[in-house]
Amino acid sequence: MAIIPLPLKAGGRIAVISPAGPVGEDETKRGVEFFERLGYKLDLMPHALMTGNQSYLAASDTDRAVDLEQALTNDRYDAVFCTRGGYGSMRLLPLLNYNNILKKIKRKPFVGFSDISALQWALHDRSAWITWSGPQLARGFGGEDRGEGFGGLDRFSGECWMDALQGRMWGKVLPMPEGKSLNVLRDGLNLLGPILGGNLAVLAALCGTPFQPSFAGGIAVLEEIDEPLYRIDRMITQLSQSGVFKGVRGILLGRFVQHVQGEAVDLNAEAAEIVMDAVPGVPVVTGAPYGHVGPCWTLPIGAEATLDLKQKTLTLEKRQS
């Protein structure tokens, strides 16, 4: 049975971790201050700010794994927020004691995105724990203030995040940005299954490891940023040839964006064509507001949802407890 996170407790204490790449002090401070103004208490775990020797990792694998496991299992904390993604989460997967985590997590919300997809898959696969995939404390709320009431986030992304974490999203149709709708490229029956997926590159990197994902019985949601088309093709092909898509009920594509001379160029149509070719006979839907570029949903990885291909909606099933 899935472990469904409780709503974010008002005034609760939040552990802040950096299980992947290093993060700047300024953006972390802005993110912390945003939530402190809302009445939350935030504790930076010992290695949340860069303490390691590798320029692309926040700290050593052991230190980051200890921070993560202590944040997840310590009753002091009501939720766990990641500062950012980057790279390094998959290095922690063999170091975690999943039995210990399963016994002690107390259904607390865990929020991460991008590289954190590796941890979210492992926690779902090994502990049946539903985690939130969405904007993060530093690379998100801690960005330069947009003046829309959610720090560095646009209003749509911020409201979706709050609705998700505070338990208002269960049993509801997920909203779409004004003037936008989902686009059904390959039709079929309405789909009911757990939301699985995250960042394409991270999930592809798990192929051939003991943590290789499987989308069987689920709705695969994928997004990517700053990868050329041939690499998107290679990663989709890798997932397909590794059997990750075997038994998938449908595929929902978020944003595929590449920055060219400072401008964000959508590769959504091209990525969808690659998916259609690599995964025949399965419903494919595009246009999900999910990715590195907002507006963005916050999605519960592992939670049951219905993808209605006629109404072009995604609905989270009601929280069971």
Annotated catalytic sites, by residue? 114, 223, 292
* φ and ψ of 24, to 5 deg: -75, 150
Neighbours of 293 (CB within 10 A): 15
Residue with tokens 């492992």: 122
Which residues, at least 6 apart from 253, have a Cβ–Cβ distance to it below 8 Å? 221, 222, 223, 268, 271, 272, 275, 284, 285, 286, 287, 288
List Cα–Cα distances, 202 to 59, 91, 166, 301, in angstroms. 19, 12, 28, 15
Token couple for 121: 């898959």
Candidates 252, 248, 292; CA nearest to 117 is 292
Please give the single-letter amino acid code of residue 87. Y
C-beta atoms surrounding 67 within 10 Å: 24
For 154-192, give one letter per residue: b (16+ CB within 10 A) or e: bebbbbbbbbbbeeebbeeebbbbeeeebebbbeeeebb
